[in-house]
Amino acid sequence: MPMQGIISTNKARCRDCYRCIRVCPVKAIKISDGQAQVDRDKCIVCGTCVRECPQQAKQVRSDLERVQQMVQSGGLVIASVAPSYVAAFPDYGGGLFPALLKQLGFSLVTETAVGAEMVARETADVINQEPHAQVSSACPVLVDLIAKYHNWAVGMVTPIVSPMIAHGRYLKSKYGAEAKVVFIGPCPAKKAEAEQPDLAGIIDAVLTFEELRTWVVSAEVKIDQLRSVDMDDLPASQARVFPLEGGLALAASLRPDLLRQDFAAVSGIVEVKEMLDNLRAGSSIKLFEALFCPGGCINGACFGDARDVFRRRNWVLQHERRTQRKAEEEDIRAAMENVELRRTISEKSIGLMQFSEEEIREVMARTGKTSPEDELNCGACGYSSCRENAVAVLSEMAEHTMCIPWMRKLAERKADRVIDESPNAIVIVDSNMRIVEFNPAFAALFLCTPGIVGKPLSVLMDPSDFERVLAEAVDRITNKLVSYPNYHVSGSLNVYRLEDEDLVVGILANVNRSTEGLSRLDHIREETLANAEKVIEKQMLMAQEIAGILGETTSETRLLLRKLTELMKESEDEGTGNRTEEKK
């Protein structure tokens, strides 16, 4: 099974909000055709995007079905349970949790904290042997972050396997290579770690607490029917606090003290970045115990519990204090003899592409950023600056359409142009029925200027339809025939409210202006009358010439033409009268 693809995007749920880009510490989210995709090579499987996605579009690969097949096969299947289980399943305390897993079909239920004991002791040996600053390697996300993005610090990571791998090697050495080991914990990165080439085969499958919770629900296990049992194999000791900040140092008997100058326990991406800066500057701290998730492993991305980290922390501490069954020192040392705890941490450099200033400026210019003043650096696209977004576009990780302010400006321009060029009269009023905006077509019909903005709509027209829509007496008004005699305007009125705003829009369509919008026949009649007058003048001149030849007067010709003119006028008067009656 390939290592890639632990985290993916459910495209049906993705809403292009770019939140996953904003929260991703390494910007491993690629936007293609408006869809967010996880770049498998860049991803460090921290699960931050899974935790933060408001649409639950990011998902962790499920191995539940594969594990269910393992337990149904009849072979030896061992559960290695992360010590944070007591905070994830507080209702299954007092031995009910191992009973639950056995009810689901596991042959043995063991504590990963035993592996943590081994790692803690080996870490103490490394610290004593190496004079330079060290970063603990228990967190696979942190190791991957350094290997991919800060490979200059690879040599500072303790060359030791994680507690999961240490425990898996121990269980395989004791129960045989054919035994199946399933790790159960809160971290999706454990799935990726288990499949790394140099670690493959040690852990056969990884379940998150969320997957386990899904299994419990589907199996319909009744908690009141369970009988408490002890964990199998070696019990843990102080390493039960391993998922907390400072837990490794406590398990290694380094007496973590917040005032010590040679030790620091850090968690969360902000503190991790500060740690890396400190290391690069030449740190005086001898050991950084670093966990990627804020608050430690009790805040893993797949913890699947809504309770806060402070209550989770208390459950872990109480469990460690109350548990009577703890491993003896010699038992842990004996177990370590058969387990290879050292590991070489290799660089996995991503090889980020470099671009010229000209290329970056060209991309920024596409979104109207031609000067420093144009760079808002608002972060709406998910990147901290416009320049960073431009680099992402050149790297084919982003699209220039992700610039929200620019796209909004374009949309406003298009909307303004559509409104301005619309033949329909459009007006917008506020909750006080005062004019906010109008288009040229409205101005032409109602003979108004920009000075009307801020004035009551009532100075131009009856605002009652607008008031009804604003008061939600009706959802909207459509195609209502209206007439405004003062402006000789009539047409069909549409009124609706802008969603989530106290603004009402009125659109007057199919407009007829009686004084100017005459019918085609009216124009023909006017032109005919004008031409008739010209004909009369010409005919009178001709009649005079003919009369001189024939000895006749022009009276008959004049009479004939006047009758024609009167006939046209009568026709015009009849048309005007008909229009008047229609208006009435």
Is residue 98 included in any domain, yes or no? yes
Tokens 């038992």 sit at which residue?
331
- Indicate if the pLDDT at residue 526 is higher than 80: no
Mean pLDDT for the stretch of residues 135-157: 95
Q: Indicate if 83 and 207 belong to the same structural domain.
A: yes
Residues 509, 525 within the same domain: no
- Asked whether residue 9 is domain-assigned, the answer is no
- Evaluate whether residue 242 is within a structural domain: yes
pLDDT for residue 204: 97
Lowest mean pLDDT among 100-109, 121-130, 138-147: 121-130
Check whether residue 93 and residue 200 sit in a common domain. yes
Regarding whether 427 and 359 lie in a shared domain, the answer is no
Residue 34 counted as domain residue: no
Q: Are residues 186 and 86 in the same domain?
A: yes
> Quick one: how far is CA 228 from the chain centroid?
44
Q: Is residue 4 part of a domain?
A: no
Domain total in the chain: 4
Residues 189 and 241 in one domain: yes
Q: Is the domain of 539 the same as that of 495?
A: no
Query: Do 198 and 322 lie in a common domain?
Result: yes
Task: Select from 495, 513, 531 the last residue of a domain.
Answer: 513
**pLDDT the model gives residue 527:** 53
Residue 28 resides in a domain: no
Does residue 507 sit in the same domain as residue 544? no
CATH of the domain at 473: 3.30.450.20
Q: Is residue 452 part of a domain?
A: yes
Identify the pLDDT of residue 164.
97
Task: Tell me which residue range forms the domain holding 397.
Answer: 353-421
DSSP label of 171? H
Predicted confidence at residue 514, as pLDDT, reads: 55
Question: Which of 336, 361, 384 lies at the terminal end of a domain, its last residue?
Answer: 336
What's the mean pLDDT in 244-268? 74
- pLDDT tens per residue across span 479-488: 999 999 989 8
Residues 427 and 417 in one domain: no
Give the residue from 367, 392, 421 where a domain finishes.
421
Q: Which two tokens stand for residue 278?
A: 């400190």
Helix (H, G, I), strand (E, B) or coil at 160: strand
Q: How many CB atoms lie within 10 A of CB 14?
A: 18
Phi-psi sector, 379: left (phi>0), alpha (psi -120 to 50), beta: left
Asked whether residue 324 is assigned to any structural domain, the reply reads yes
209 and 284 co-located in one domain = yes
Q: Are both 219 and 258 inside the same structural domain?
A: yes
Token pair listed for 120: 């803690």
More confident residue, 553 or 9: 9
Q: Of 226, 228, 178, nearest to 204 (Cα)? A: 178
- Mean pLDDT for 528-543 is 53
